[in-house]
Amino acid sequence: MKRQEIKAQLLKSQLVALRAQMNPHFLYNVLNTVQGLVYGNRKTEAGELLGNFSDLMRKTLQASDKQLLSLQDEIDNLRLYLELEKARFDGGFDYHINLVNLDDLSFVYVPSLMLQPFAENAVKHGLMHKKGDKEVLIQFEKEVEGLKVIIDDNGIGRVNSMEINKRSKNKPFSFATVALNERMNLFNSLYKQKITCRIIDKVDEMQQPLGTRIELLIPDYTHDPDAL
């Protein structure tokens, strides 16, 4: 594929990713939660939720023409998204974002619309069906080869999640996951340095699932002469 073609494909994949992120189900879930908070007379929380929701919409739309986003912006987006999920679960779900070896987040760049789908998968497939405490840990660490990103959940694991999807006759792989892989491939055909992605199925000594851990290595795009 020629570079020009890849860039065109990348724009298309961005649209697909945007549509996946702003899917009606997500929007309805947020609004349902607001309705519940209103009837529960929890006005402050309802107000906060609406504020977070508007911020996420605004930021997502503003950045919709960018292929690379500063890590600061991406973390802001992740935080807003996870706050919305937290409100929806109404306790029982929490998240942590850790930074290791990073000081200035505005000069580190990550591909846009790539990390939120991983976080969403952790919530939707890993945590939604889990009883008890649900947690997502997201860690960013600067390494020599690039930025290491860990998305770690303590959910039911991929095998169980696929079982549930099979029983309810859902598609085993979501639309968002397919779009995500394609987007990663496009970035990799455009740049010399590649994004790598490892999926680790965590288990205990008895081989029982403990959740899923994603390890991404995102190259340092600012040093790439062909940076967008």
Partner 1 sequence: MPHAKQSYLRNSMQKISAIIVDDEPNARRALRGLLEENFSQVEIMGECKSVPEAVKAINRFKPDVVFLDIAMPGYSGFELLDFFDEQHLRFRIIFVTAYSEHSLRAFETSAVDYILKPVRLEHLARALKKINIEEPSVSSESRQYQVLKENFTNQLDKKIVLQTAETIFVVRMEDIIYLQAEGSYTRFYTTSHGVLTITKKLIDFEFLENNGPFFRTHRSYIVNLNHIKKVDKKEFILMMSNDAEVYLAQDKKNLLLEKIIK
State which residue, 28 or 107, has the beta carbon closest to partner 1: 28
Separation between Cα atoms, residue 104 and residue 102, nearest integer Å = 6
Residue 33 is a binding residue for partner 1 (CB under 8 A): yes
- Tell me how far, at minimum, the Cβ of 169 lies from partner 1, in Å: 4
List the one residue from 144, 168, 205, 223 that touches partner 1 (CB under 8 A). Answer: 168
Minimum CB distance to partner 1 smaller for 36 or for 99: 36
Confirm or reject binding of residue 188 to partner 1 (CB under 8 A). Answer: no
| Whole-angstrom distance, CA of residue 91 vs CA of residue 168 | 26
Residue 185 CB-density burial (10 A; 0-12 exposed, 13-18 middle, 19+ buried):
middle
By the 10 Å C-beta count (0-12 exposed, 13-18 middle, 19+ buried), 159 is classed as exposed
Q: Which residue has the tokens 């990103």?
A: 149
Spell out, one character per residue from 115 to 134, where the chain touches partner 1: x when CB under 8 A holds, - when not.
-------------xxxx---
Using rule CB under 8 A, residue 54 touches partner 1: no
Residues 82 and 138: their CA atoms lie apart, in Å, by: 11
Shortest distance in whole angstroms from residue 129 CB to partner 1 = 4
Packing angle of the helix pair 3-21, 175-190 (nearest 10 deg): 150
Per-residue x/- track, 71-90, partner 1 (CB under 8 A): ----------------xxxx
Looking at the DSSP assignment, which residues form a beta bridge with residue 194?
none
28 near partner 1 (CB under 8 A):
yes
DSSP 156: S
Select from 103, 132, 169, 225 the one that contacts partner 1 (CB under 8 A).
169
183 contributes a contact to partner 1 by CB under 8 A: no
**Residues of this chain that bind partner 1 (CB under 8 A):** 24-25, 28-29, 31-40, 87-90, 128-131, 164, 168-169
